[in-house]
A and B are shown apart, each in its own frame.
Chain A
């Protein structure tokens, strides 16, 4: 850090040095780069199995918005490291993200991303466009690529309400970045293959937010049924999936009681048909 004489008009603190960019990440990089996630040098050995991993996130477009849901399990290898983890995050009033992969890096990234969006909004006095938000997240994921190669893979799923379309949009990513816009529905994480199969059969275009929540809870149940790393509804501990509905009214995380209602419906129906609802053959 130089002396304060290098700063504009006698400002004594580097907080006042303008980077010329509206990006919070850019500012942190010049101010205190150690705070950014995944800035470590290459690890001596891959750590993939030793740190907790977050698993399945599902999301689907509903009438007037988008719904996102995630299970609550985190695993380290074959150990369940947490039963009530949160992996669906509010990023601003009209968007949210879910994370799969290395939990620690993912949580940090979600925190940074939230500040990134707010920082832009406060600075510029306007909200980023949905495409702008999605691109920004892609850059953050790409920055994590060296760590991903060492086993700290983080893959997010981004969902937002787009006021221009008056509807929801979904963006997926890979370790190299993205974004890839998804239509209708998408799932990420270890249980995503099973969840995606279920969603394909259950998805109804233009369904109400409530029906879409039910759809996603069904899909998570199917994922937990076949994937050991995805947690099903924990009836004994009363731990339910995290469900968020994003519409013109903003981001709303459903309360535990609301989710419990949907979970109960699914669990009751599975008592008689364990494989869930059947789709018509033709």
Chain B
């Protein structure tokens, strides 16, 4: 055996650890369904470098990790969506197709290149009803997870997801969904993020043409204060206990089949 030999298993494990560490360094992003569509919330002091973006009429994108890497994926996604919508019809662009494209590329990069991408993505598509909404989460190795209800990724993702599950239930109005997201993103006992430190967007199924809308400025302030007033009111009169949040389907990657995903179980 040559000196310096590293087994493929070890290589994959090292790459996965490297990527996971990079992703955990940043802040979390949460994506959750609300009554009229899908809400994206990311603590982000930068006005210029977005973590949340519009991809197409019904499709939104959120990412954590290294900016230049997910930005390349975002731009590729926009090109994919625009060229397919132009070649066929605007309704023929789906989040599923886009998630597969990303999965294929992330998987290839993970196995072939020295350094894996340190990113985790959400591709979400809003449907005509909440049953037709799709939220796909993609990890650095190209695994795709078909999520329902809510996703938290990046930073202390697991703790954030658990806090989000406490507050989440189906069919939340926008202000309450935003309140739940902020509750989850704030560490217990920590300061709330002010409106100018937040990047918030929705895919609103009731909008015509392009469903994606950024919420900022006075509109966001109003939503934030409406949400916290609501939370205080419900804290005083603890009414119905929140319905159990849907299980995360961590165990069942939809594509590619879990073979190359050496990182997820270690």
Contact assessment for A15 and B76 in the assembled complex, using a CB-CB cutoff below 8 Å: yes
Contact assessment for B82 and A11 in the assembled complex, using a CB-CB cutoff below 8 Å: no
Min C-beta distance of A8 to chain B, whole Å:
7
In terms of DSSP, what is the predominant structure of the interface of chain B?
helix
In terms of DSSP, what is the predominant structure of the interface of chain A?
helix
Interface residues on A, range: 20 to 34
Verify if A83 is at the interface (C-beta below 8 Å from B): no
| Cβ–Cβ < 8 Å partners of A18 in chain B | 72, 75
- Interface stretch among B106-114, B176-184, B231-239, B250-258? B106-114
Contact assessment for B85 and A115 in the assembled complex, using a CB-CB cutoff below 8 Å: yes
Contact assessment for A16 and B82 in the assembled complex, using a CB-CB cutoff below 8 Å: no
Contact assessment for B104 and A9 in the assembled complex, using a CB-CB cutoff below 8 Å: no
Verify if B146 is at the interface (C-beta below 8 Å from A): no
| Cβ–Cβ < 8 Å partners of B53 in chain A | 122, 125
Contact assessment for B86 and A35 in the assembled complex, using a CB-CB cutoff below 8 Å: yes
Q: Which residues 11-47 of A sit at the B interface, judged by CB distance below 8 A?
A: 11-13, 15-16, 18, 24, 27-28, 31-32, 35
Contact assessment for A123 and B112 in the assembled complex, using a CB-CB cutoff below 8 Å: no
| Cβ–Cβ < 8 Å partners of A13 in chain B | 76, 101, 104-105
Min C-beta distance of A214 to chain B, whole Å:
25
List, sorted by A's number, 28 A–B pairs whose CB atoms are closer than 8 Å: A9-B113, A10-B105, A10-B108, A11-B76, A11-B108, A11-B109, A13-B76, A13-B101, A15-B79, A15-B80, A15-B101, A16-B75, A16-B76, A18-B75, A24-B82, A28-B86, A31-B83, A90-B209, A112-B86, A115-B82, A115-B85, A115-B86, A118-B210, A119-B82, A122-B53, A123-B75, A123-B78, A125-B48
Q: Which residues of A contact B (CB under 8 A)?
A: 4, 8-13, 15-16, 18, 24, 27-28, 31-32, 35, 90, 93, 111-112, 115, 118-119, 122-123, 125
Beyond contacts A10-B105, A13-B105: 10 other A-B pairs, Cβ-Cβ < 8 A, are: A9-B69, A13-B76, A15-B76, A16-B75, A16-B76, A90-B209, A111-B86, A112-B86, A115-B86, A122-B54
